[in-house]
Each structure stands twice: as structure tokens, then as C-alpha cells.
Structure 1
């Protein structure tokens, strides 16, 4: 069974985001070994400088890296865009070797270059989304991708 991990920086603050993720965790529990790892955001002042942001991303990257396993997929705006069938093929490939995939969602400032360099990134859209919504969207796409692979009617 495929191991799917989402390593993310920051907590889901609103209950409606948490409820949506719980729903997908429940749906995914029979399809894969699913895990979400939440890491704290690095502390930054109200109006951080570019250097402070870079240092914070570096610190977050150091916390992210040891939690990754299998195929590593940074979620970043510079990444490639996939349709749902392409995303399901990515999951299928992860099932073959090494049998696990780690998706990484950074803080509101993104991901450190060191984390982006660990795998081939994916962008959900050229539009910008809150990282809390991105987590829900990623959970849904993982569920959809696994349903596509099963030939289930969920995907239209």
C-alpha cells in the first residue's frame, strides 16, 4: 500500500479547514497509508526583510528535510502543472518505487531552495492560494488520483 505523507509548515487555524482535511483523511485511510506532519512556522517580525525571510525558510527547511521519504514533491509556484490524470500517474509511479511519496507545503513565504531542490515541484495553479487551502486541495487531489487509479467513478 502506498505511503502518502504531507509535510506542511503551519497549523490549520480555522475549524472548517480542519474538518475538510479530516474528511479526506477518512476517505484516504482505506486507499493508502496517509499521514500529515505539521511543523511550526519560523518566527518573523511584522515586516520582515528579505534576509529574515530567507533565514526563516532555511530554518523551516532544516525541520522539513528529515521528515521526508520516498518520492519528494515540493508544492511551489515554480513547479510544473499537472491535470488530475497526470497527478494520478505520479502516484502510480510512487507506488512502484519506492512505495512512498512526500508532498511538501511551505509557509506563506514558500519553501527554501534546499527543499525545492530535493524533488520535482508541482504547482497547483499560477494563481496564489492560502497555504491552508492548498492543504485541502492537495488532499482532494490525492484522493482523486487514487480513485482514478482504481477506476472508481469519483473522477468525472
Structure 2
């Protein structure tokens, strides 16, 4: 299975980079993982709603340019579906059995996702009603994907 994580912004702090590196290494035995970091768009000091939308649209266009038409796209959105770790594992396994071997997870920037990226989603996933920094969300997502593979293969870890 090929998994791509498309995210806005670079990881500045070493502890986030170290965590991503660790989970990327762990996932190597289960899938091919690619992390695509896209540049965060500049926002004015006192942005108007139109300025914020323009940033989301620009970031959205960049995100969409990295998604192949055949990819199965999972966006991380507060309004998405909440799943337990076991249910996420079931989804990943089901997608694999359906021949969806090219999964793309999308983490938006600080303003969220553009409407066009949200429309492109095949599945909208929410980890919580709370908002998390997108750097932290990247680590949480990778950990949950790793946990999913451990659950799918009935290997110890997830309890």
C-alpha cells in the first residue's frame, strides 16, 4: 500500500521531526510512505475573511496539484467522521481490499482546508472536536496509521 501525507508547513521543532521520523521508520514495514510538505501561504497581520479564504484557496490549489485522479483521498477535518483506532484500521483494510492502494491523507494549514480540497475527499476524518496544531496532527496521524497496521495484522501494540 502507498500512503502519502500531504501537509501545509514544515516541522520547525526537532521533537516533531524526530517523532515523524520514528513513525515513518516504523511504517516502513507496512507500507510505502511519502510525506509532502507544502509551503504555508503568507497571511496579512490583520486578515479579512477574504484574505483568509484567498490563502485557503491558494494552499488548496497546491494540495490538489499533488493528488492523482486515482488516489483515495482522506482529509482531516473537524466536521469529518470520528472513528476509534479499531474502526480506522477496518477502513484502511477495507480500502486496501477494494483495491485502493494509493491513500492520500491531507492535513490543512492553520486556517483549514479549502472548499475544493474538502470536495475532493473520498472520506473526511476527524480526530476530535478540538483543534490541534497541524504539526502535532501529523504525528498523531502517523501514529494512528501505524497502530492501524498493527491492528490489521493482529500484532501487539494497540492496547
TM superposition score normalised by structure 1: 0.96
Unaligned residue ranges in structure 1 (runs of 5+): none
Equivalent of residue 143 in structure 1, options 135, 141, 146: 146
Unaligned residue ranges in structure 2 (runs of 5+): none
Per the TM alignment, residue 100 of structure 1 is displaced from its structure 2 partner at its CA by 1.4
TM superposition score normalised by structure 2: 0.94
Per the TM alignment, residue 66 of structure 1 is displaced from its structure 2 partner at its CA by 2.2
Equivalenced residue count is 155
Give CA deviations for 1:72-104 in whole Å, capped at 9, x if unaligned: 001011101010011111211221222111000
Q: What corresponds to 1:153 in structure 2? A: 156
Q: Secondary structure at the match of 1:155?
A: coil
Task: Give me the CA root mean square deviation.
Answer: 0.9
Equivalents in 2 of 1:84, 1:99: separation in Å? 20
Per the TM alignment, residue 34 of structure 1 is displaced from its structure 2 partner at its CA by 0.5
Equivalents in 1 of 2:26, 2:102: separation in Å? 18
Q: What corresponds to 1:43 in structure 2? A: 42
Q: Post-superposition, which runs of at least 4 consecutive aligned residues in structure 1 deviate over 4 A?
A: none
Q: What corresponds to 1:114 in structure 2? A: 116
Q: What corresponds to 2:101 in structure 1? A: 99
